[in-house]
Amino acid sequence: MATEVHAAEGATGYIIHHLTPLHAGEGFWTLHLDTLFFSAILGGLFIWFFKMAAEKATSGVPGLVQNFAEMLIEFVDNQVKDSFHGHSKLIAPLALTIFCWVFLFNFMDLFPVDILPLIGSMMGIEYLRVVPSTDLNATFAMSISVFCLIIFYSIKIKGPWGFAKELMFQPFGPWLLPFNLLLKLVEEIAKPISLALRLFGNLYAGELIFILIALLPWYIQPILSFPWAIFHILIITLQAFIFMVLTIVYLSMAHEDH
Amino acid sequence: MSINATLIGQMITFALLVWFTMKYIWPPLFDSLEERKKKIADGLAAAERGQEEILLAEKRAKGVLKEAKEQSSEIVTLAQKRANEIVEESKDAAKKEGDRLIVAAKAQIEQEIQQAKEGLRQEVADLALSAAEQILGAEIDKAKHQDIISKVSNQLG
């Protein structure tokens, strides 16, 4: 959609260039190669770090890597314990993965907006969008996966009939069945959409502001980009945290039998 | 900005990451955490036990010390008593020995006095005799006046 506008030079062209992903394929079968590449690299980084910690894990005095990994593990475990009262082997690792992956996605936002695309263009890559969470596909991939887990656990814990009853008879009792159903369906579907759009919106807006700051003269840029980057450190962590906590909360709601 | 096949790719990556974390990352790290928690709890319990044992041992040590003190003072008392006895005994023995020595010395003195007396008597008798002999010269016959001489010597004795 952006290719035809790309001819436009100046500020608009710069912005659009920055927001156009490196893509291949046509229509639905388009692949955003940069999103796939960076998210895989970041996922690999996450796995590599934690695998290193896990291999050296001892119950004795922990090393630096293990200490950091354990800090995150305990942090996630506390969050899970706070809102989820059942027993599940999946939820805590899922939450940890989400938190770290989303955080790393968002962290890419703190690289100077031009540096990676510049390196890319030197290697002959025309478009490069380095922050995977500014791609709706990346955020929806996670939220839809979480949504599938919500449905799966709802049916598994409450049984198909129990889940259907919950959809039909709550919150207003059997006499308002269609209304209940509509309300519940909207509620359920709103979960993945809000998860994905919240993260996407925050990061897309943040990235856009970095791009806009980059358009200003060089002597003004640091005055604006420095505070924004500092503020962004808070935002990227907060967004990762929100995504994780909401996932835990949604899954614990799926586990609760009324 | 459109939703496309990237979504599927991302979902596969996500599923792989979650699976890997669940299988190989969470359990060892979490177990090591739990194990350390247990170790620390055990260590604290052991420390508490140790403290209690120290208190008990101190109490025991105090008892032993007290007993030892009592025993030692008893021993000292006994020893003093025994020493007194020994001193008394030796005093008695010394007194007896002294008495014995005194008696023996007295007897010896008596004997020596007797001997001296005997000697002196003899000498005086001899002296008297020789004096009388010198005075009387040949007039006095020793045999004739034997009874007078012995009377005199008896008076001298």
Name chain B contacts of A92, Cβ cutoff 8 Å.
Answer: 26, 30
Q: Kindly indicate the confidence band of residue A55, based on its pLDDT and cuts at 50, 70 and 90.
A: confident
pLDDT on residue A180: 87
Q: Say which of B3, B6, B11 has its CB closest to residue A145.
A: B11
Calculate helix-pair angle for A64-83, B26-136, nearest 10 degrees: 120
CB contact set of A54 (below 8 Å; sequence gap of 6+): A69, B24, B25, B28, B29
User: Around A119, how many Cα atoms within 13 Å sit in the side-chain half-sphere?
Assistant: 7
pLDDT on residue A89: 85
Alpha carbon A31 to chain centroid, angstroms: 18
Q: Identify the DSSP state of A32.
A: E
Distance CA A170, CA A181 (A): 8
Interchain contact, B17 vs A144, CB within 8 Å = no
Name chain B contacts of A57, Cβ cutoff 8 Å.
Answer: 28-29, 31-32
- The Cα of A195 is separated from the nearest Cα of chain B by a number of Å equal to 15
State the DSSP H helix or E strand holding residue A113, giving kind and residue range, or none if neither: none
Q: Can you tell me the mean pLDDT for A135-149? A: 92
Q: Identify the DSSP state of B21.
A: I
The full 3-state SS of A90-106, as one line of letters, equals CHHHHHHHHHHHHHHHH
Q: For the segment B129-138, what is each residue's pLDDT rounded down to a tens digit?
A: 888 778 776 6
Interface-testing mutation among B26, B36, B40, with chain A (most A C-beta atoms within 10 A): B26
pLDDT on residue A149: 93
Q: Give the residues across from A32 on adjacent strands.
A: A23
Alpha carbon B90 to chain centroid, angstroms: 20
Q: Say which of A1, A59, A140 has its CB closest to residue B7.
A: A140
Interchain contact, A55 vs B28, CB within 8 Å = yes
ipTM > 0.90, yes or no: no
Q: Give the residues across from A31 on adjacent strands.
A: A24
pLDDT on residue B1: 53
Rg (CA), chain B: 61
User: Around A174, how many Cα atoms within 13 Å sit in the side-chain half-sphere?
Assistant: 1
CB contact set of A75 (below 8 Å; sequence gap of 6+): none
Interchain contact, A73 vs B20, CB within 8 Å = no
B4: left (phi over 0), alpha (psi -120 to 50) or beta: beta
- Is the CB of residue A54 less than 8 Å away from at least one CB of chain B? yes
Q: Identify the DSSP state of A60.
A: S
Q: What percent of chain B has pLDDT over 90?
A: 60
Alpha carbon B88 to chain centroid, angstroms: 19
CA angle A166, A168, A172 (to 5 degrees): 90
Distance CA B152, CA B145 (A): 11
- Is the CB of residue A108 less than 8 Å away from at least one CB of chain B? no
| Long-range contacts, A118-125 (Cβ 8 Å, 24+) | A120/A22, A125/A22
State the DSSP H helix or E strand holding residue B144, giving kind and residue range, or none if neither: none
Distance CA A142, CA A161 (A): 27
Mean pLDDT of chain A: 87
Longest dimension (CA), chain B: 193
Burial zone of B25 (CB within 10 Å; 0-12 exposed, 13-18 middle, 19+ buried)? buried
Judge whether residue A5 has pLDDT over 70: no
State the DSSP H helix or E strand holding residue A24, giving kind and residue range, or none if neither: strand A23-24
Burial zone of B106 (CB within 10 Å; 0-12 exposed, 13-18 middle, 19+ buried)? exposed
pTM across the whole model: 0.72
| Long-range contacts, B150-155 (Cβ 8 Å, 24+) | B152/B125, B152/B128, B153/B121, B153/B124, B153/B125, B153/B128
- The Cα of A179 is separated from the nearest Cα of chain B by a number of Å equal to 30
Interface-testing mutation among B3, B11, B21, with chain A (most A C-beta atoms within 10 A): B21
pLDDT on residue A4: 40
Distance CA A106, CA A147 (A): 22
Judge whether residue A224 has pLDDT over 60: yes
Q: For the segment B41-99, what is each residue's pLDDT rounded down to a tens digit?
A: 999 999 999 999 999 999 999 999 999 999 999 999 999 999 999 999 999 999 999 99
Distance CA B7, CA A138 (A): 6
Place of tokens 């006499």: A175
